[in-house]
């Protein structure tokens, strides 16, 4: 079915209402413009107390189930070094698409897996005064359901990373913001009180979080979240 230019398939993404006033995200877009390209400060505002890099797990197939495989397990299998700045391909002895029975599919790129998003949201919800009022952004370049380049309005982000915003709660970070059969998490989300910010860049197999020292410390200690401390000046 064709979609007339200027129309929008829905006023929702993933069942959440599209936010037409994108000015609520200007604090992030302005900060990203000031950040040095290729560093954490180009993804997140650089004035948070602390930062974390959250690694997206690899996957092992077990019948109909997908089992999360932490990077540490892959590093141990290959005898490679796991450190805060490590890239996924550096854990492998050579470029490979799988290493069964250890892992069958690599970490998702530009997408935060649902189970991991739920664990993050559970922690982050305790470190904001506005867990029921959050904004979530999905990159507009996927081409799923945005026939018009200007409708709805985008939050403009340096490097062609513009996002369409929806309004929801911290628990909505687990929602699929793409139409079926596609699957896509939010690429950017934060609460109304700016207590923290989460970025899953479309080109990365990690998610970056900025927040209070207590918030990041809890993230780093939470089972099921494989993460390292990060800093604004560090490369992504």
The answer on 214 and 130 residing in a single domain is: yes
Task: State both tokens at 28.
Answer: 């992030």
* Residue 235 located in a structural domain: no
The answer on 194 and 166 residing in a single domain is: yes
* Residue 39 located in a structural domain: yes
The answer on 150 and 44 residing in a single domain is: yes
The answer on 141 and 131 residing in a single domain is: yes
* Residue 75 located in a structural domain: yes
Count of domains observed in the chain: 2
The answer on 135 and 20 residing in a single domain is: yes
* Residue 95 located in a structural domain: yes
| pTM, to two decimals | 0.94
pLDDT in tens, the chain (236 residues): 344 443 444 578 999 999 999 999 999 999 999 999 999 999 999 999 999 999 999 999 999 899 999 999 999 999 999 999 999 999 999 999 999 999 999 999 999 999 999 999 999 999 999 999 999 999 999 988 888 888 899 999 999 999 999 999 999 999 999 999 999 999 999 999 999 999 999 999 999 999 999 999 999 999 999 999 999 999 99
The domain containing residue 81 runs over which residues?
Answer: 71-106
- Identify whether the C-beta of residue 13 lies closer than 8 Å to the C-beta of residue 147: no
* Residue 7 located in a structural domain: no
* Residue 80 located in a structural domain: yes
* Residue 2 located in a structural domain: no
Tokens 């690429």, located at residue: 187
Q: How far is CA 155 from CA 29, 50, 112, 220, in A?
A: 8, 25, 20, 30
Report the residue count for the chain: 236
Q: Write the CB contacts of 180 (distance below 8 Å, at least 6 apart in sequence).
A: none
């Amino acid at each position: 079915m064709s979609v007339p230019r200027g129309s929008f398939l829905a006023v929702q993404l993933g069942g959440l209402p599209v936010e037409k006033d994108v000015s609520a995200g200007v604090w992030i877009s302005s900060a990203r413009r000031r950040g040095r390209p290729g560093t954490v400060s180009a993804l997140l505002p650089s004035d948070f107390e602390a930062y974390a890099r959250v690694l997206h797990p690899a996957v092992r197939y077990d019948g109909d189930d997908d089992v999360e495989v932490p990077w540490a397990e892959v590093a141990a299998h290959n005898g490679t070094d796991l450190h805060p700045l490590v890239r996924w391909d550096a854990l492998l002895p050579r470029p490979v698409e799988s290493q069964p029975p250890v892992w069958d599919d690599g970490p998702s790129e530009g997408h935060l897996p649902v189970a991991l998003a739920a664990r993050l949201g559970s922690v982050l919800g305790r470190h904001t005064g506005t867990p029921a009022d959050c904004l979530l952004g999905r990159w507009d370049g996927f081409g799923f359901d945005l026939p018009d380049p200007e409708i709805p309005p985008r939050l403009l982000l340096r490097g062609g990373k513009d996002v369409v915003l929806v309004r929801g709660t911290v628990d909505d970070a687990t929602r699929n913001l793409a139409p079926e059969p596609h699957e896509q998490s939010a690429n950017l989300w934060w609460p109304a009180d700016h207590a923290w910010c989460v970025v899953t860049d479309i080109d990365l197999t990690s998610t970056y979080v900025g927040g209070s020292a207590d918030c990041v410390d809890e993230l780093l200690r939470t089972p099921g979240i494989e993460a390292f401390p990060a800093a604004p000046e560090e490369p992504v």
